[in-house]
Amino acid sequence: MKVLVVGSGGREHAVCWKLAQSNKAEKIYCAPGNAGIGDVAECVDIKAEDIDGICRFAVEKGIDMAVIGPEVPLAMGITDALNAAGVRVFGPNKKCSRLEASKAFTKAFLARHNIPTAGYKEFTDKQELLNAVGIYGYPMVIKADGLAAGKGVVIAENEADAKKAIEEMMGERVFGDAGDKVVVEEYLTGVEASMLCFVDENSIVPMESAQDYKRIFDGDKGPNTGGMGSYSPSLVFTSELEKRIMDEILLPTLKGFQQDGLDFKGVLFVGLMLSDDGPKVIEFNNRFGDPETQSVLMRLDSDLVDIFDAVIDNRLADIEIKWKKEKAVCVVLASGGYPGSYEKGKVISGLSAVDSDVVVFHAGTAFADGEHTIVTSGGRVLGVTALGATHEEARMRAFDNAKKISFEGMHYRNDIGTVNRTSK
C-alpha cells in the first residue's frame, strides 16, 4: 500500500513513524514533511494547503490512502477533492471540518444535542461585543471563531484585558478572517484534559487518554501555545470518569453526527474541562492533537494502517485496538520567543546522543547545507518522547534526553508529565 501523509509537524512525524512499523505500508510519502520525517518517509515538496498539487501527486503515484494531519487543508476541503480524484482518505470532509473551523458551529451543535459545555454567545459586531464585556463575569473567555493556529483564545482577567483582546481580534484583525465572528464563553474551572477518538459513521472509539500543556511556562503561566508537551495516560482519568464521558459526551456526539448528516471519518479530538459539575466540552478538533499524538501513538500496540482502513470503510466496530501498558511523556523544545516572534535557522545539536529507544519527533525543523545540518524552522521545534513503566520513569527519561539536545534560545517546561490542576 502507498500512503501519503499531509503535513509537516510533530503530529505528522508521529503518524509516519507509526505507519512505518506496518508491513502493509510499502511506501510512505509526506507532503511537505520536515527534517525528521525524512527518516521514515519520503518527503515531497508540496505545501499542505496546495490541494490541487496534492491531488495531482496522489493520482500520479497511485496513492492508496491519504492521511490528513493539519486542520487548514481539512477546512479547505482536501478530503472531498482527494475522494473526487479516487483516493481513499483518512480525515473528515469539509462539512464535518466546520466542527473545528468554526467555534460557533460547534457550540450550536453541542447545545442542539444537549452535550455539556460552557454557556456562550456569539458576536459579529465589535461595538456590541464591547458593550457586552463581562457578560459572564471574569475571567472572560474570548475566542476567535475561525482557525487561528491554536492561539485564538484569550482568557481576560479584567475589563481592560477583555477590551484589548476584542480590539485586537475585531479591530486590528490579528487573526485575520478568523476574528470576523467572536464567541464569548462562560469561564469553566477544573482540570483540563483531552481525548482522541477514532470515528466512523457508525462508531466512536476513544484512544488512551492524554493531557497536554497549553501555556508557555511552568505552572500553566503565560500565553497559550500550540502545546508544550503531553503525557499518556492522563493521571486524572478513572474508569468511572471515562464511562461518564462516553455516556454524556461521546455517544451523544456520534448520535448528533448521524442526526445532522455529518458523515465523520477520522479522528475527533475532544477538549474537556473536568469541572465539579462533571466533564464539559471545551472544543472539538477534526484531527490528531499535537502534541498529544506523540504520547498516544508511542503507546499504540495495533497496526495503524488497519485502524485507518477500518475507519475509511466504516468497519471500526469490527477491530480491536490494543495499547501498551507503559506510560509516555513528550517534552516540547521550543524556539526562543515562542509563542511570540522567534528566529529560525538555529543549528540543532545533540540529536545523535539521544537514547535509541527515545523518539525525537520533529515539528519545526529543516535542513541547511544540503542534508548535513538540521536547523530550527518553527516555534515548536522538537518533541522528546519516552516510554517508562511509570509516569515518573517516562518523565525522567524524556527530560534526561531533552538535556542532550541544544540550539540557541531553546526552552521547555519542566513540569510536563505532572498533573496539570489549573483551569483553561
**Residue 221 identity:** K
Q: How far apart are CA 297 and CA 207, in angstroms?
A: 9
The confidence score (pLDDT) of residue 192 equals: 83
What the block records as the C-alpha cell of 249 is 459526551
**What does each C-alpha distance from 331 to 37, 123, 146, 213, 365 come to in angstroms?**
18, 37, 28, 10, 16
pTM of the full predicted structure? 0.93
If you write DSSP's letter for every residue of 295-332 in order, what string do you get? HHHHTB-S-HHHHHHHHHTT-GGGS---B-SSEEEEEE
The backbone region for 309, taken as left when phi is positive above 0, alpha when psi lies in -120 to 50, beta otherwise, is alpha
| C-alpha cell belonging to residue 380 | 515548536
Q: What is the chain's length?
A: 424
pLDDT digits (tens, 9 = 90+) for 360-409: 999 999 999 777 899 999 999 999 999 999 999 999 999 999 999 999 99
* Sign of the torsion angle spanned by Cα atoms 193, 196, 200, 202: negative
Question: Exposed (0-12), middle (13-18) or buried (19+): which is 45, by Cβ within 10 Å?
Answer: exposed
* Longest CA pairwise span in the chain (Å): 60
Residue 152 has pLDDT above 50, yes or no: yes
Give the integer Cα–Cα distance in Å for 314 and 200.
5
Could you write out the DSSP letters of every residue in 113-131? TT--B--EEEES-HHHHHH
pLDDT value for 423: 39
**pLDDT at res. 420:** 63
Q: Are strands 42-43 and 65-68 parallel, antiparallel or unpaired?
A: unpaired
Per-residue pLDDT, 353? 98
CA 249 to chain centre: 19
Angle among Cα 223, 224, 225 to the nearest 5 degrees reads 120
More confident residue, 412 or 224: 412
pLDDT at 424 exceeding the cut of 50:
no
pLDDT in tens, 159-183: 999 999 999 999 999 999 999 999 9
Q: What is the mean pLDDT of residues 117-141?
A: 94
What are the residues whose beta carbons fall under 8 Å from the beta carbon of 363, sequence distance 6 or more? 9, 10, 13, 34, 290, 291, 332, 378, 380, 381, 382, 383
**In which element (H, E) is residue 395 found?**
helix 391-402
**pLDDT tens figures, 14-64:** 999 999 999 999 999 999 999 999 999 999 999 999 999 999 999 999 999
pLDDT at 285 (0 to 100) = 93
306-356: per-residue pLDDT in tens? 999 999 999 999 999 999 999 999 999 999 999 999 999 999 999 999 999
Other C-beta atoms lying within 10 Å of the C-beta of residue 177: 12
pLDDT tens for 76-123 read 999 999 999 999 999 999 999 999 999 999 999 999 999 999 999 999
Quick: pLDDT tens for 368-379: 977 789 999 999
Report residue 325: phi and psi, to 5°.
Answer: -75, -20
Cα angle 318-28-1, degrees, rounded to a multiple of 5:
50
| The amino acid at 50 | D
Distances, alpha carbon 263 to alpha carbons 74, 86, 259, 349, in Å = 14, 18, 10, 45
Q: What is the pLDDT of residues 239-282, one digit of tens each?
A: 999 999 999 999 999 999 999 999 999 999 999 999 999 999 99
